[in-house]
Chain A
Amino acid sequence: MNKKHATISRPHLSLDAPSSSGEAVGVALAPRGEGAIGRERRPSSDVHLAAINLHKTYHKGRTAIPVLRGADVKVRRGELLAIVGQSGSGKTTLLHLMGLLDAPASGEVRFGGNRVDNLPSRQRDRIRNGKISMIFQFYHLLPELTTLENVLSPRMIRDGVLSYMRHRRQHRADAAHLVELVGLKHRVDHRPRELSGGEMQRAAIARALVNQPEVLLADEPTGNLDRGTGNEILKLLRTLNRQEGLTIVMVTHDDSIAAQADRIVRLADGRVVAA
């Protein structure tokens, strides 16, 4: 990605690991609140992630279901954007396209000014792994792994066995730091089935952050949680957005959740309209 934005985003991450040595070894996010007060950022005006005229049609047997019919979204750097819409309106589909999990029938996805939807799969895999990460309504943690291992999994996917093992301690320290950051320190070695919904979503957020992404796509992150827990998750996302400058796109059908976003767009009839 372009270097300009890297230099912009880097300062928001506190380099508190003494042994940190460059790209391979990650940079840990500062614990919530620690030294971050007063560094609140406002969204800038340049477009970080953009969906341009996206079309997507599902086929069920012989009937075609057009879900997206020219959807346009421009996500600005550092903003928290909420996409609202009725159930079945295509919000998840749009998010998957923007997260490069799926390919649009037509249209473009731009990330930092470059078109990315037509990149070779290996490069798209890398973007998913390190630049644009996602969290889901159903958390989607790997059931065989502990909280810490789940958080570490994007690192494991990124690095080969040897380079991973070489920086094993650093990785674990980073992950432990993130687990602490999302408030799961006491659940480090638990399996997902031993966690509550809110805890699982926290673990999923920590996992989404471990490779220091620039954009976080959240698909109804509170959809399966009670209001109180949902609000805490939302607060966590809000903090990440404010203090770390993380660009967040959040899909929800709950207007009261969406209300806390910087900006809200509505998906209806396969198009995006300002709400």
Chain B
Amino acid sequence: MYKLLLCWRYLRTRWIALASIVSVTLGVATMIVVNAVMDGFTTEMQDRIHGILSDVVVESRNMEGFYDPDWHLARIREVAGDRIEAATVTVTVPALLNFQYRGTTVTRPVQLIGIDEAAGGMASEFAKYLQHSDNRRQMSFALHESGYDVADPTGGAEALVRPQLADAGWTHRRRWGSLFNHQRYVEEQQQKLDQQQLEPRQTVEPPPMQAPPAQPGETPSTDGSENFGTPEGTPGGSAADGAPADSQSEADAPPGAQVTAAEPAAATAQATAEPAADPFGAPAAAPHRFDPESEQATGCILGMGLSSYRVENGREHFLVVPGDDIKLTFPTVGQPPRAISDVFTIVDFYQSKMSEYDQSFVFVPLRKLQELRGMIEPRTGVGFASSIQIKLKNEADGDLVRDTLQATFPPELYVISTWRDKQGPLLAAVAMETAILNVLLFMIIAVAGFGILAIFFMIVVEKTRDIGILKSLGASGRGVLGIFLGYGLSLGIVGSGVGMIIGLLFVVYINEIAAGLGRVTGREVFDPQIYYFSRIPTIIEPLTVGWIVLGAIAIAVMASVLPARRASRLHPVEALRYE
């Protein structure tokens, strides 16, 4: 009983001891904050990574991909079907994206991914990150009339507002489409007049349909017609009618329209479907004039980071919006590979908030990409694919499925990886960082332990006479030991308890604190531009908090063992005579 009372009294009267555990308190608080933030970051990042990456990916080792993806799908279902929820075929190829923005060409390297619209895209949470609510339900490469989210759909209450997306979709496309058509009409009239002047003898007028592809179409044949001579054969001449000169002049023309597509006249969407007779043949087939006012090119989904940049206040400024056309250039699978280009219409954006992905991924329809790259065998129609994305059933173990598949598909030809494998280095780096921080912070607490040790020795010396008194009153050595161990324990509990409260409060109000610090220092502490987080993500793991607190208490108790033993062994007579 006296132990409790004395512990309590010492706790209340020895403020110096409380000072010695301030470092324990701070250490505990810091450790809780660091772990919560690191956990939050890791989980958030894993969610985002996993949102785009499928659970397991079977990839081909070469650029051409593997033949007959359907056979592969069947084989995969055969060996691991019971654990697989969905599997889709994709083609991945590095590509160049370019589009016109206010008269200059913007070019970006991208990762082009052909996905199967019917199979729902990526066999992952991919659709969740699209900006049109219909696409989030059922992904489609058709341009929507309007209705793209103006507020970041994953942003929560403080979501970013994107006023530029208000009229994205057909509304936007029709506006610049009509301007374009008008411009085209003016140019055609101009050419007609020029021709009449140059060839006054010629009485037969070329049909107006043929005129535009004839003249500007020939000029860029280096970039257009040659590249389009894929095995399947695209009618090059008609396809490559979009001349750079054309787009250049057109870009200057409508100053009001902030966005103009590079070569919207490239009507490849329809052209490719036509049978190839002669790549350089005359435009024999009835040429279809692509009308951007009412038609869209092949749809594509662009990463948010490719279409916009951040301006001062954290807002985005969009260079292109859904409804605009862009051009993608990528290699064919032939030997040697050649570069081919095609025009695509942006039908949606996606934003996983993993800037690595948002700034590099472009999704297009799988079949279209296969055709353009020459990945379809013309006679059988069987294609090549570069990877198969597999979504597992909830409880299935990704590593197990990977190993099963590895046994089936020879590793010389296939790379099979889980999403964790793919992001292994990143996740491992974060885990390593957390571990090092934890070790360092725990060392701080351990150093604090030595502080407690020193102060406890001081207190024992100071209390020597009291220890003698207690012994003269019949207290045993163990009892005295208990007083000081209990004192260390209660100091540890108080210190780490206060630390825990401070730490938890800090975690709960971390965003407010960051904002406040930003105001005081004039610099944004947590720049959402870099991290893509609108708020600092935190996760409080009760187990981690428990271990931290227990560890700190253990250190405090351990630090009090030596002084307590010394106190318990004090000779009562010496202690009583101590002045």
Contacts and interface: CB of A to CB of B under 8 A. Distances in A.
A192 to B, nearest CB: 11
Nearest to B8: A144
Contact of A140 (B10, B465, B476): B465
Given A96-B573, A140-B465, A143-B466, A130 B474 contact: yes
A101 B577 CA distance: 12
Contact residues of A: prevailing secondary structure: helix
B410 to A, nearest CB: 72
Contacts of A141: 469
Contacts of B182: none
Interface in B455-475: 465-466, 468-475
B474 A161 contact: no
A145 interface: yes
A160 B3 CA distance: 10
A166 to B, nearest CB: 11
A71 to B, nearest CB: 16
B2 A140 contact: no
B475 to A, nearest CB: 5
B474 A158 contact: yes
A86 B317 CA distance: 99
A157 B6 contact: no
Contact of B4 (A102, A129, A161): A161
A140 B472 contact: yes
B9 interface: yes
Interface string B263-303: 00000000000000000000000000000000000000000
A144 B9 contact: yes
A13 interface: no
Nearest to A128: B474
B160 interface: no
A140 B463 CA distance: 12
Interface string A210-224: 000000000000000
A156 B1 contact: yes
Nearest to A129: B474
A165 B2 CA distance: 11
A157 B10 contact: no
B573 A154 contact: no
A102 B571 CA distance: 8
B554 interface: no
A101 B474 contact: no
Contacts of A121: 476-477
The residue among B6, B465, B469 with the most chain A CB atoms within 10 A of its own CB is B469
B313 interface: no
B473 A153 contact: yes
Interface residues of A, number: 34
A110 B242 CA distance: 120
A130 B473 CA distance: 9
A1 to B, nearest CB: 15
Given A140-B469, A142-B466, A158-B474, A101 B4 contact: no
Given A144-B9, A144-B10, A159 B1 contact: yes
A128 B472 contact: yes
Contacts of B471: 101, 125, 128
A247 to B, nearest CB: 18
Interface string A120-153: 0110011111100110100011111100010001
B407 interface: no
A201 B516 CA distance: 59
A145 to B, nearest CB: 7
Contact of A102 (B5, B466, B477, B572): B572
Contact of A157 (B13, B474, B571, B576): B474
A125 B469 CA distance: 12
B383 interface: no
B5 A145 contact: yes
A121 B477 CA distance: 9
Contact of B1 (A96, A99, A125, A160): A160
B531 to A, nearest CB: 52
B479 interface: yes
A102 B577 CA distance: 12
Given A96-B573, A102-B573, A157 B470 contact: yes
Contact residues of B: prevailing secondary structure: helix
Given A140-B465, A144-B13, A156 B474 contact: no
Interface in B534-579: 571-573, 576
A99 B573 CA distance: 11
Contacts of B469: 140-142
A152 to B, nearest CB: 9
Interface residues of B, number: 25
B9 A99 contact: no
B576 A128 contact: no
A137 to B, nearest CB: 10
B1 A161 contact: yes
A101 B576 contact: yes
A122 B479 CA distance: 11
A134 B470 CA distance: 12
Given A125-B474, A128-B474, A156 B5 contact: yes
Contacts of A155: 1
B573 A157 contact: no
Interface string B1-34: 1101110011001000000000000000000000
B6 A144 contact: yes
A101 B572 CA distance: 6
A133 B474 CA distance: 9
Contact of B474 (A126, A140, A145): A126
A153 B476 CA distance: 13
A195 B5 CA distance: 21
B2 A157 contact: yes
The residue among B4, B469, B470, B474 with the most chain A CB atoms within 10 A of its own CB is B474
B528 to A, nearest CB: 54
B2 A153 contact: yes
Contacts of B473: 128-129, 133, 153-154, 157, 207
Contacts of B474: 125-130, 154, 157-158
Given A130-B474, A145-B5, A157 B479 contact: yes
B575 to A, nearest CB: 10
Nearest to B571: A102
A80 B55 CA distance: 92
A156 B7 CA distance: 13
A117 to B, nearest CB: 14
A46 to B, nearest CB: 25
B351 to A, nearest CB: 62
A91 to B, nearest CB: 13
A114 B115 CA distance: 99
B573 A101 contact: yes
A257 B573 CA distance: 25
8 contacts: A96-B573, A101-B572, A122-B476, A128-B471, A128-B472, A157-B2, A159-B1, A164-B1
**A-B pairs with lowest CB-CB distance, top 6:** A129-B474, A156-B2, A144-B9, A156-B1, A164-B1, A128-B474
Interface of A: 96, 99, 101-102, 121-122, 125-130, 133-134, 136, 140-145, 149, 153-161, 164-165, 207
Given A125-B475, A140-B465, 15 more contacts: A96-B573, A96-B576, A99-B472, A101-B472, A101-B572, A101-B573, A128-B473, A129-B475, A133-B473, A140-B469, A142-B466, A149-B5, A156-B1, A156-B2, A157-B475
